[in-house]
């Protein structure tokens, strides 16, 4: 069964334009399913569509030899056809393939391509394809989508006003599963907690190993050890030199590993926000995972957030994921920190957020310097009970 995703409404706006559509994001986030949904809807409108998965060596060999070979596999039609190319990063030269077909055949075909390993695509895309593409990042499910995928349709369609005790209990139970096991579609579709752990473990193990292999990383054990360390340091500054000493790696190798982690959408490294460079500038980023279930896998801890020693960093990570959805891109989410370690967790345009598990206990005077320095930025405090109302509009 194919479930609709919110991102499809965004893709719909450019689906009939001539530019190439590229779907990117971590493995197992649902890119192929989205392509099939688009294909099915177009076919229902009478449009001719063809799908090619480049994990098939026959297609890969044929398209590497000559991009125009794709035309030989299409049915005869006088109408413009839609061509879906899955796993485009496997091509020797994805840029040449897409650019040639767009430049020479855009009157006859519309290309929709996907690529799981964004870092690999980035290196192979020698040309930016400027003016020829729309890129959409497919991320794990948000909570509304999770409710649909996990069969909680009565909640997904429920009004966001004051809930009865019955619906509140059901909603919070689903929320706990979402923030514990994460939003990968396969996880959401699982029917028990054991199956959810198995699903996220498969993603955290076998699928990330595919990223490791395609990136040419030789020491997979150290790469996975780095992910475990980063999971334990969520919300903290990433000191690459310190990590080099911990793992016994050169700085060049460490930078390579961090690059792959970021480009394959396993974790994001957010940069500092600053107005006064002399006092505020730090080169070190902070790390957050795109999916809470994946972070919990690397920590080997699926306990309830309220029972964990890392609940502060855990909650920060949840807030980061929601702010990322709101902002649209990781580079739009920043943090503020001075040289004397005064800090605000997140700054997104004209809003700032300080995240504490118990927001009622925050000493607001500690943030006076930020408010005085940036009077045009509204500072807000979010606690554990505030995430659902803030980002999903539920009144609890």
Q: What's the CA gap between 75 and 43, in Å, rounded?
A: 14
| CATH code at 7-138 | 3.40.50.300
Q: What's the CA gap between 384 and 305, in Å, rounded?
A: 9
Report the pLDDT averaged over residues 350-368: 90
Q: What's the CA gap between 339 and 282, in Å, rounded?
A: 8
Contact yes or no for 326/332 (Cβ under 8 A): no
pLDDT the model gives residue 70: 97
**Among the listed residues 188, 198, 194, 185, the one whose alpha carbon sits nearest the alpha carbon of residue 152:** 188
pLDDT the model gives residue 276: 61
Q: What's the CA gap between 177 and 180, in Å, rounded?
A: 5
More confident residue, 245 or 127: 245
Report the pLDDT averaged over residues 196-224: 92
Residues 6+ apart with CB under 8 A from 9: none
More confident residue, 59 or 362: 59
Helix (H, G, I), strand (E, B) or coil at 62: helix
Per-residue pLDDT for 280 more than 70? Answer: no
pLDDT the model gives residue 281: 57
Q: What's the CA gap between 244 and 199, in Å, rounded?
A: 31
This prediction has a pTM of: 0.93
pLDDT per position as a tens digit, 149-185: 999 988 988 888 888 999 999 999 999 999 999 999 9
- Arithmetic mean of pLDDT over the chain: 93
pLDDT the model gives residue 283: 77
Helix (H, G, I), strand (E, B) or coil at 228: helix
Count of other CB atoms within 10 angstroms of residue 128: 9
pLDDT per position as a tens digit, 222-262: 999 999 999 999 999 999 999 999 999 999 999 999 999 99
Which helix or strand (DSSP H or E) is residue 52 part of? strand 49-53
Per-residue pLDDT band at 279 (split at 50, 70, 90): low
DSSP 194-222: HHHHHHHHHIIIIIHHHHHHHTT-S-HHH
Per-residue pLDDT for 117 more than 90? Answer: no
Per-residue pLDDT for 127 more than 80? Answer: no
Q: CA of 125: how far to CAs of 99, 209, 270, 303, in Å? A: 10, 22, 24, 41
Contact yes or no for 226/256 (Cβ under 8 A): no
Using CB atoms within 10 Å of the CB of residue 375, give its burial: 0 to 12 exposed, 13 to 18 middle, 19+ buried: exposed
pLDDT per position as a tens digit, 19-61: 999 999 999 999 999 999 999 999 999 999 999 999 999 999 9
Per-residue pLDDT band at 278 (split at 50, 70, 90): low
Residue 76: both structure tokens together: 């005869």
Q: What's the CA gap between 289 and 296, in Å, rounded?
A: 10
Phi, psi of 32 (to 5 degrees): -65, -40
Contact yes or no for 67/93 (Cβ under 8 A): no
pLDDT the model gives residue 266: 95
Of 50-64, 120-134, 313-327, give the lowest mean pLDDT range: 120-134
Would you state the torsion angle of the CA atoms of residues 248, 251, 254, 256, taken in this order, to the nearest 10 degrees? -140
**Residues spanned by CATH 3.40.50.300 within the chain?**
7-138
Report the pLDDT averaged over residues 141-150: 96
pLDDT the model gives residue 277: 56
Per-residue pLDDT for 393 more than 90? Answer: yes
Q: Are β-strands 81-86 and 109-115 bridged in parallel, bridged antiparallel, or unpaired?
A: parallel
pLDDT per position as a tens digit, 75-95: 998 899 999 999 999 999 999
């Amino acid at each position: 069964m194919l479930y609709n995703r919110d991102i499809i409404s965004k893709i719909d706006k450019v689906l009939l334009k001539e530019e190439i559509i590229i779907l990117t994001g971590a493995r197992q986030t649902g890119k192929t399913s989205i392509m099939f949904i688009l294909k099915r809807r177009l076919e229902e409108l009478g449009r001719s569509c063809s799908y090619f998965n480049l994990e098939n060596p026959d297609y890969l060999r044929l398209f590497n030899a000559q991009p125009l070979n794709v035309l030989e596999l299409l049915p005869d039609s006088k109408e413009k056809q839609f061509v879906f190319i899955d796993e485009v990063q496997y091509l020797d030269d994805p840029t040449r393939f897409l650019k040639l077909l767009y430049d020479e055949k855009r009157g006859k075909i519309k290309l929709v391509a996907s690529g799981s390993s964004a870092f690999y695509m980035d290196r192979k895309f020698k040309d930016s394809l400027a003016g020829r593409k729309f890129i959409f990042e497919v991320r794990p499910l948000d909570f509304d989508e999770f409710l649909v995928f996990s069969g909680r349709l009565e909640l997904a369609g429920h009004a966001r006003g004051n809930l009865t005790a019955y619906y509140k209990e059901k909603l919070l139970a689903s929320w706990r599963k979402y923030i514990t096991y994460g939003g990968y579609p396969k996880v959401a579709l699982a029917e028990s907690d054991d199956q959810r752990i198995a699903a996220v473990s498969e993603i955290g193990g076998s699928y990330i190993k595919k990223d490791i292999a395609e990136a040419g990383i030789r020491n997979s054990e150290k790469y996975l050890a780095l992910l475990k360390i980063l999971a334990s340091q969520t919300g903290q500054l990433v000191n690459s030199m310190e990590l080099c000493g911990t793992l016994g790696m050169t700085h060049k190798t460490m930078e390579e590993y961090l690059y792959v982690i970021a480009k394959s959408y396993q974790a994001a490294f957010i940069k500092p926000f600053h107005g006064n460079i002399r006092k505020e500038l730090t080169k070190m980023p902070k790390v957050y995972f795109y999916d809470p279930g994946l972070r919990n896998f690397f920590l080997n801890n699926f306990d309830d957030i309220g029972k964990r020693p890392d609940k502060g960093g855990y909650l920060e990570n949840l807030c980061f994921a929601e702010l990322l959805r709101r902002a649209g891109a990781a580079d739009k989410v920043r943090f503020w920190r001075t040289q004397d370690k005064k800090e605000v967790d997140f700054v997104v345009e004209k809003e700032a957020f300080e995240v504490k598990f118990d927001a009622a206990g925050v000493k607001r005077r500690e943030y006076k310097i930020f408010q005085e320095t940036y009077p045009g930025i509204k500072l807000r405090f979010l606690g554990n009970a505030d995430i659902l109302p803030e980002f999903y509009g539920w009144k609890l």
